Chains A and B, each alone.
Chain A
Amino acid sequence: MLMLPSSLRRVMLRAILRRPFQAAMFILGVALGVAMMVAIDIANASATRAFGIFAESLTGRTTHQIVGGPSGVPYELYRQLRLELGVREAAPVVTAYAQALELDGQPLRIFGIDPFAEAPFRGYLNLGAANANADIASMTAFLTQPNTVLMAEQLAAQYGLQEGDTLTMRYGPTRHKLTIAGLLRSSDEVTAQGLQDMLIADISTAQEVLNMLGRLTNIDLIISETPDGEALLARIRSILPPGATVQVAGARASAVGQITAAFNLSLTALSLLALVVGMFLIYNTVTFSVVQRRPIIGILRALGVTRGQIFGMVLWEAALLAAFGVVFGLIAGVLMGRLAVVIVTQTISSLYFTVTVRNVDIPTLSLLKGALIGISAALLAALLPAYEATNTPPSGTLKRSDIERKVRRAVPLASLSGALVVAVSLGALSLPSLEVNFVALFGIVVGFSLFTPLVTLALMSAVRPLGGLLLGVLGLMAPRSIIRSLSRASVAIAALMVAVSVIVGISAMVGSFRNDVQGWLADTIRADILISPPSISAVRQDVPVEPSVADVVSRVQGVVAVGVSRSVDVIRPNDPQPVLLTAIDRDTSMGTRRLVWQIGDYETVWAALGEGAVMVSETFARQRGIPIAAGQHITLLTDRGEHTFPIAAFMVDYSGDQGTVMMRRHIYLQYYDDPYISTIAAWVAPGYAVSDVVNAIRAAFDGQQELLVQSNRDLRERVLVVFDQTFAITTALNLLATVVAFIGILSALASLQLERTREFGAMRANGMTRCQLFRLTLTETSLMGAIAAVMAAPVGTLLAWVLVYIINLRSFGWTLTLSLRPEFYAQATLVALVASLLAGVYPALRIGQIQPACALRLE
């Protein structure tokens, strides 16, 4: 950018200092946008990194993993590897999450290992020779005593636990008292963080606690990338039982990255929204300051300052203020980030995988990105006003009216370019890239905002006669005055319109989603009572429960029928992401399940399932590229080897965004050696009250099984609670965008009204009362709010449509039905009106205090 002579620099600084309110508004606009972006970035990065570290500490130097189906890998395979193939770098692992009841129910990964095989794989502890004595004792206990674990020193300290203390771990329906045999001091940051979420157990203990007798979760391998390594891998593959396969380690961890990519992207897009709104604010402020300084700029030009220097001065001014804004924004962003991390990880944990973030990372990259985008946005927003400033003739006689005239002339141009932007954006929606779709979404918003001057003109002209009828002179004056200050008014209206339409769009999207989930729940779960073990994740139930529990339920008086389901992760060959497979023996939907494609009527589908076909959720099909059409198949690795199952139907399923494959239980048992169940559904006989039967089942379990027994209604309510939690972050961001918009309109109106001080002075001098002036101001701002609301309704609807049918479908694969309810619009209109009214109060009060003499003295 151009260098400024020192004289101009002083002019610039003086200008800023003379108008602290506007400078503050500018800084606020930048700061809020930057803060939101940084906060979301921090939250995303922290969650991703926490998972990365955790995965790393679990994987260690493992290159390959032998994994199996739901029942894991038989332990004999490990012995075979060691004894028959002479594989040295192999380590057995038995692991799962359990809840630590004394630790506020926090999920901890019980990680069962064989210490004698671990050395090449993972680095957990750094037991110095200094306390070797104590360590030998704890190691003996760890190896030989049942229910003993090692725990990170930091975690223990956090909860005031010591060696010898016990922890109650809840895994599915059972509780286990585990004794801390020793504390682990980690040697480096990565292991320290990884260990924070873990209890290390001997493999025997892990098997007993996690109900994995005779089985391993996986066998870790280190295999070099050499011909020898390849040969070894081939030998290992040749002895694998049918249900097991060798995967490259870290494949699952990187799949996790893909899983959350769409989620992260939508959050980022939402956070950028604040910046877009902020840009309106910046544009407004800069324009205002340029207009106010026209005389000065004129004089400067007369004194020989070039256009380029004027242009530079305005941009420098913007850059300087933006820099302040960025600093505040970064600080606020980091503070807000800590809060956002909590919300984001909660959502990730309930939807995708358990992750606990202890250390909030503040990545330099996020800060740099925030700063760069903040300053760029400010400069971009200041570009137009800066250019306008250069057009000031040296005489400096250009009046407000001149600009307004120019703006009026520019209205068709703005509308035309708006139409163009909207058209291009709509076109871009058909491109398959999610990033492009989000940009297009912004394009639509911005494009429509360019219509604001036109709509304002049209509406105000139309409303004038009506205003005159209702409010008399004031009703005539207010629309006129908005038209007269179109350049500023339309920017403020646009900012408000954007915020409000986003509110409409997002609430319509979330509302539609919620509506569909509710309907789906009602259709899918038609059993009266649902029984499941307490689970860490909201969307999956994969803790093994003894099938005999179902018999206990069926013997309870009042239970007429019982159905069981089993949800497990299975492997799809050549797919790094596990597949959630649900096996059911009785359909809880009782034939009302929503299907998007099916081979025939429900009976036909159910019969086909009985013959070995499967149902696949729509989300699953979309994410794994399976066309929703006839003749599709899915190949799964079963305990009998790879098997291809025909797909009999594609179903609607909102239970998780990874999708599921459903088969009937007898088919499942045929292909998988896994007798366990995950959840139980029960139907109540006529004449019995559901609540009584619920209590009877609870009583039957009492003391033996810790299972959640819920009535259908309770379950539905609980699912909706989870749903709302999931969208908590969306709502929060939405609210923040509204706050930004509110500040935007406040600043715009304040500037606008304060600019007209002399005008108001003249009015007052001509006999207008304070009260009338107050009413005039508020009428004006309310009118502006109304324009924003009127515009926001169609734009918001369009946004909702794009979010539901394009963004959501592409991100997650759910087809939702857009349901528009009047309350979304009412709510948005209310927000617009209240915001504009509130924003008008301060300027109105200030104007009310104008001393006509003072104001006119300036004339």
Chain B
Amino acid sequence: MTRRGILAIATGLLVLGVAFIGVSGLRGQTQPEFSADVVAALSGGGIEGFARVTGVKEFSFPRDHGAHPEYQTEWWYNTANVQTADGRRFGLKFTIFRRALTPTMAERRSEWATNQIYFADFAIADIAADRFYFKERFARGAAGLAGAQTEPFVKIWIEDWSITFDEDGQGYRLRAAEGDMGMDVRLRMSKPIVLQGDRGFSVKSADEGNASYYYSFTRSLLEGTITVRGEQFAVSGTAWFDHEYSTSVLGEDAIGWDWFAIQLDDQREIMLYQIRLRDGGIEPTSNGTFVNADGSTRYLLMAQGDYTITPLGTWTSPRTGAIYPHGWRLTVNAPDGLLELEVQPFMRDQELNTTTAYYEGAARVTGTQNGKPISGVAYVELTGYNVQTREGHSR
């Protein structure tokens, strides 16, 4: 659904930024400071000619696991809370993004020619050591360097980082490694695919076309090996997968979002988010999905009071200076009674200071429902706080 809209757009622009850096030889010593104006200019315009998400469509798998190059933005998003046999916790995050620079392509003879750019990042939170690591890369979606295929099996890749589906379509493998960090994990879906929003049609603002196609694997069982500073760990845990594509999602006055993917120990999952507006308000279409243990879902609309999000504290990034909320109290109107949850990140610093700085953190969930204690894990994504902090917006 809406969550990574701005992220994707901003990062999409920053792909180009990185392309410049490539040519400009800034050599990554300094992060390019793209102003919010640029983001605004490009998130508003530049979509002419691209396909728009305007209504419900019929998904067809495995074809729809692949790329939809006629839409401007697309991503395959993985997060996971895992631990070793002796209970050492890690948070994993691995996303591949696609961005179309133009809606159409001239006929070209070179196999390097493309209007499709791929970029990706992966992160490992070493919770016991309180250390957070991330890597990022960019590539053109041509010459076999990056892409998304569905035949003979589904594979989304950027160089040697990949999301490869099993032939039965019920499992997948994540591989990403660079330097002394890496992950090679296999996952099996334990629940049916969840189509977010209205059968996968996820509206992000009142304007037509500001929407995405969005589905999730809300609980995949993970097993595999991760490498942290050269040390290997056999881990297992639960993962969340999102695949979302769109052309424009956010309204002009949006500045960022707070997104939660919660996996309760009783086999239920909740996705919810709020899009923050420049004036301090919340985008009224902000919504979520409640997934029952049997896989059935319930649509949650924030404006209807289906859920509330209350920050409990803040954390200031020592690198970007962005002030992020830290710890939340959530209330969710579940079908079987109000959930009162507290979400606390396992560790403070889980900020990806990649081309676009944002927060993607593993969190612990505690709470009650109908007087009974509830627990679980979550992933929290916070975007736009660097801009917000710099510009001194309210909230």
Which A residues have a C-beta under 8 Å from some C-beta of B? 60, 75-76, 78-79, 82-84, 86, 88, 113-127, 129, 132-133, 135-136, 139-140, 143-146, 150, 184, 187, 191, 200, 202-205, 207-208, 213-214
A133 (CB) vs chain B CBs: closest residue: B38
Shortest Cβ distance from residue A37 to the other chain B in the assembled complex, whole angstroms: 39
Q: Chain B contacts of A126 at CB under 8 A?
A: 24-26
Shortest Cβ distance from residue A72 to the other chain B in the assembled complex, whole angstroms: 14
Contact (Cβ within 8 A) B101 A118: no
Contact (Cβ within 8 A) B24 A136: no
A-B pairs with beta carbons under 8 Å apart, 27 shown: A86-B159, A113-B23, A116-B117, A116-B138, A118-B22, A118-B23, A118-B25, A119-B25, A120-B27, A123-B24, A127-B20, A132-B35, A133-B38, A136-B38, A136-B42, A143-B114, A143-B115, A144-B105, A144-B114, A187-B24, A203-B110, A203-B112, A204-B108, A204-B142, A205-B110, A205-B113, A207-B110
Contact (Cβ within 8 A) B18 A144: no
Q: Chain B contacts of A214 at CB under 8 A?
A: 111
Contact (Cβ within 8 A) B111 A213: yes
A interface footprint on B19-41 (CB within 8 Å = 1, 0 otherwise) = 11111111110001111011001
Shortest Cβ distance from residue A213 to the other chain B in the assembled complex, whole angstroms: 6
**Known A-B contacts A125-B24, A207-B112; A83 and B143 likewise in contact (beta carbons under 8 Å):** no
Contact of A88 among B111, B142, B178 (CB under 8 A): B178
Shortest Cβ distance from residue B147 to the other chain A in the assembled complex, whole angstroms: 11
Q: Chain B contacts of A78 at CB under 8 A?
A: 143
B106: interface (CB < 8 Å): yes
B102 (CB) vs chain A CBs: closest residue: A144
Contact (Cβ within 8 A) A136 B13: yes
B372: interface (CB < 8 Å): no
Contact (Cβ within 8 A) B38 A114: no
B160: interface (CB < 8 Å): yes
* Pairs A-B, 6 closest by C-beta atoms: A123-B25, A204-B113, A204-B110, A115-B22, A204-B112, A118-B22
B367: interface (CB < 8 Å): no
User: How many of chain B's residues touch chain A, expressed as a range?
Assistant: 35 or more
**Known A-B contacts A83-B159, A114-B140, A140-B16; A125 and B105 likewise in contact (beta carbons under 8 Å):** no
- Please measure, in the bound complex, the distance between the C-alpha atom of A214 and the C-alpha atom of B112, giving whole angstroms: 9
Q: Chain A contacts of B145 at CB under 8 A?
A: 79, 82-83
A interface footprint on B337-349 (CB within 8 Å = 1, 0 otherwise) = 0000000000000
Contact (Cβ within 8 A) B159 A82: yes
B115 (CB) vs chain A CBs: closest residue: A144
Contact (Cβ within 8 A) B19 A139: yes
Q: Chain A contacts of B20 at CB under 8 A?
A: 115, 125, 127, 135, 139
Contact of A139 among B16, B37, B142, B144 (CB under 8 A): B16
B139: interface (CB < 8 Å): yes
Shortest Cβ distance from residue A229 to the other chain B in the assembled complex, whole angstroms: 14
Q: Chain B contacts of A187 at CB under 8 A?
A: 24-25
A interface footprint on B77-117 (CB within 8 Å = 1, 0 otherwise) = 00000000000000000000000011001101111111101
Q: Chain B contacts of A121 at CB under 8 A?
A: 25
Shortest Cβ distance from residue B380 to the other chain A in the assembled complex, whole angstroms: 30
- Please measure, in the bound complex, the distance between the C-alpha atom of A132 and the C-alpha atom of B18, giving whole angstroms: 12
Known: A86-B177, A115-B20, A127-B23. 7 other contacts (CB 8 A): A83-B157, A115-B19, A116-B140, A118-B25, A123-B24, A132-B38, A136-B17
Q: Chain A contacts of B102 at CB under 8 A?
A: 140, 144
Contact (Cβ within 8 A) A143 B101: yes
- Please measure, in the bound complex, the distance between the C-alpha atom of A140 and the C-alpha atom of B15, giving whole angstroms: 10
**Known A-B contacts A116-B140, A127-B24, A129-B34; A143 and B110 likewise in contact (beta carbons under 8 Å):** no
**Known A-B contacts A133-B38, A140-B16; A202 and B144 likewise in contact (beta carbons under 8 Å):** no
A124 (CB) vs chain B CBs: closest residue: B23
Contact (Cβ within 8 A) B22 A119: yes
Shortest Cβ distance from residue A804 to the other chain B in the assembled complex, whole angstroms: 50
Q: Chain A contacts of B13 at CB under 8 A?
A: 136
Contact of B21 among A119, A140, A204 (CB under 8 A): A119
**Known A-B contacts A82-B145, A119-B28; A132 and B34 likewise in contact (beta carbons under 8 Å):** yes
- Please measure, in the bound complex, the distance between the C-alpha atom of A124 and the C-alpha atom of B23, giving whole angstroms: 6
Contact (Cβ within 8 A) B27 A125: no
Shortest Cβ distance from residue B118 to the other chain A in the assembled complex, whole angstroms: 9
Contact (Cβ within 8 A) A83 B144: yes
B178 (CB) vs chain A CBs: closest residue: A88
**Known A-B contacts A204-B113, A213-B109; A129 and B23 likewise in contact (beta carbons under 8 Å):** no
**Known A-B contacts A125-B25, A132-B38; A213 and B110 likewise in contact (beta carbons under 8 Å):** yes
Q: Chain B contacts of A75 at CB under 8 A?
A: 111-112, 143
Q: Interface centre among B22, B37, B111, B178, by most A CB within 10 Å?
A: B22
- Please measure, in the bound complex, the distance between the C-alpha atom of A127 and the C-alpha atom of B42, giving whole angstroms: 18
A184 (CB) vs chain B CBs: closest residue: B23
- Please measure, in the bound complex, the distance between the C-alpha atom of A203 and the C-alpha atom of B143, giving whole angstroms: 11
- Please measure, in the bound complex, the distance between the C-alpha atom of A205 and the C-alpha atom of B106, giving whole angstroms: 12
- Please measure, in the bound complex, the distance between the C-alpha atom of A505 and the C-alpha atom of B139, giving whole angstroms: 62
**Known A-B contacts A117-B22, A129-B32, A204-B113; A146 and B160 likewise in contact (beta carbons under 8 Å):** no
Contact (Cβ within 8 A) B17 A132: yes
- Please measure, in the bound complex, the distance between the C-alpha atom of A512 and the C-alpha atom of B16, giving whole angstroms: 61
A interface footprint on B153-197 (CB within 8 Å = 1, 0 otherwise) = 000010110000000000000000110000000000000000000
Shortest Cβ distance from residue A109 to the other chain B in the assembled complex, whole angstroms: 16
Q: Chain B contacts of A191 at CB under 8 A?
A: 25
Contact (Cβ within 8 A) A208 B110: yes
